[in-house]
Copies of this chain bind each other. A is one copy, B any other.
Amino acid sequence: MASSPTLDSDTASPARRGRRRRTAQSPGPELFPQKPFRQPRHIYRPIEAISADAVEAIHTASLRVLQEIGLDFLHEEAKALLKTAGADVDPSSDRVRLDPNLVMDLVGKAPSQVTVKARNPAHDLEIGGPHIAFSSVASAPNAVDRDGGRRPGNQKDFRNFLRLSQYFNIIHCIMGYPVEPVDLHPSTRHLDCIADFVRLTDKVFHIYSLGRERNLDGLEIARIGMGLSHEEFSKTPSVVTVINTSSPLRLDTPMLQGLMEMARAGQVSVVTPFTLAGAMAPVTIAGALVQQNAEALAGIAFAQLVRPGAPVIYGGFTSNVDMRSGSPAFGTPENMKAALAGGQLARRYNLPYRTSGVCAANTVDYQAALETTLSQWGAINGGGNLIKHAAGWLEGGLSAGFEKFIADVDLLQMLAEYLTPLDVSEDALALEAIKDVGPGGHFFGTAHTQQRYKDAFYPPIVSDWRNYETWAEAGRPIAYEKANMLYKKALEAYEPPPLDPAIDEELSAFVAKRKAEGGAPTDF
């Protein structure tokens, strides 16, 4: 991982005054025995759900989709760019057909790994290769907790989710508004929200592609937060957007504007087709993957056309729907296999892979743990590099839950521990300890145990390991209740990360100016 050793000093260049390295947040109360901020790595070989031949079959079929059917590109400038590059652009519609060689030439220009800088260099990320980054829930229309129930997204909840995302070291970045704060006017909401990202957190964050003005405002706020000149910023990936195709086979205007502005600014686009099998994609997972791959390659190729080498991430979100209701299902066997195969496809193109830790459950219950853990099974074993929605996601994305956030932090910490190599040193093999104890003895009291027991095992923060009697006497507490208490403790323990007053001032001035100008159009 790229380090930024020169940024430790108070004498860092004024242009980088925002990037003072700070040690990872203190662990806070005993309730949260956190490890320092660190990205887990894929130390195990990814699971391959399909053969190399099947990967090629999906690849070939997806190129045929792009060549024979094509995609609708709902943007004139985009179509002009594609035409110049040699694509077959239908003059009477938005349909663009892409030659396989053109697609593969362009996709080949994308970097296989990207360093994304954070306002706090200790929170810089590597996306791609063996690296894993977990991000918190994004884009939920509702927030929910035990005390206030389920309510439309609002600024207070939005900010509290940012605070939790900052507080927990296992959350590596914030990939979207955890909840949509609908109490803020849409024309200026992005200004307030993105300024909050800079002020309340010092981790890598995301700006939505909802029209050119919002992208430009978001890029400018990110640049101010980083304390970089425009030129430096354009060489320093520091902010991420997600480009969702309007599946099937359509890239709409704001998404294309976003892809163009982010690529031009040298910033990161995650191209994630919204391919739910049986709804916006074929009912077969293989067919949904063909469509996912076609749409992802189209978006990625287009970004490379705008700026060769623009950082992009291959996104996979293929799952099935509940055929009775049409609503998306997650953590299903089909979702797991799609996540594994999606990773194989991303690696086929040597691209970083974005996937998700998600569920369809309505609250922090048995189902939530089952589905979220199974979706992480697919995400981690699929070789996911950016694992989105990994803390707080409920109801297939319709709500962001505070208690779920804590429960997921526990799961993510366990997964990070699982991804820590087993110590197989001579000392860990413990031959001497086994000799000392001998047949029929006990290891509790040995020196080998005494020296290690405090840190030997991951201590869960939500699970209740008390025996049945003690647990029953305590009123059979459930994870939901414990997580409720814990999220409030975490909010109490939260401290805003330091921010250079000059940056704060520049940020305020920019937001005020843009608000005075009326923000961004809301007729998208």
Contacts and interface: CB of A to CB of B under 8 A. Distances in A.
A394 to B, nearest CB: 9
Given A453-B278, A458-B332, A429 B57 contact: yes
Interface in A20-78: 44-45, 47-51, 54, 57-58, 61, 64-65, 68-72
Contact of A327 (B290, B425, B467, B472): B467
Given A360-B463, A435-B68, A286 B368 contact: no
Interface string A242-254: 0000101110000
A456 B277 contact: yes
Given A326-B444, A468-B362, A417 B48 contact: no
Given A422-B49, A429-B58, A366 B407 contact: yes
Nearest to A373: B373
A424 interface: yes
B327 A465 contact: yes
A361 to B, nearest CB: 7
Nearest to A291: B434
Contacts of A466: 325, 362
A438 B69 contact: yes
B367 A479 contact: yes
Contacts of A326: 444
Contacts of A368: 366, 369
A498 interface: no
A455 to B, nearest CB: 10
Contacts of A320: 456-457
B286 A430 contact: yes
A9 interface: no
Nearest to A94: B439
Given A249-B438, A439-B71, A284 B366 contact: no
Interface in A346-368: 360-368
A150 B468 contact: yes
A449 B282 contact: yes
Nearest to A65: B434
A395 interface: yes
Contacts of A468: 150, 362, 395, 398-399
A440 B287 CA distance: 16
Interface of A: 44-45, 47-51, 54, 57-58, 61, 64-65, 68-72, 94-95, 150, 246, 248-250, 277-288, 290-291, 294, 320-327, 329, 332-334, 336-337, 340-341, 360-371, 373-374, 377, 381, 395, 398-399, 407, 411, 414-415, 417-418, 420, 422-425, 427-431, 433-435, 437-444, 448-449, 452-454, 456-458, 460, 462-468, 471-472, 476, 478-480
6 contacts: A64-B431, A277-B457, A286-B423, A286-B430, A290-B431, A374-B414
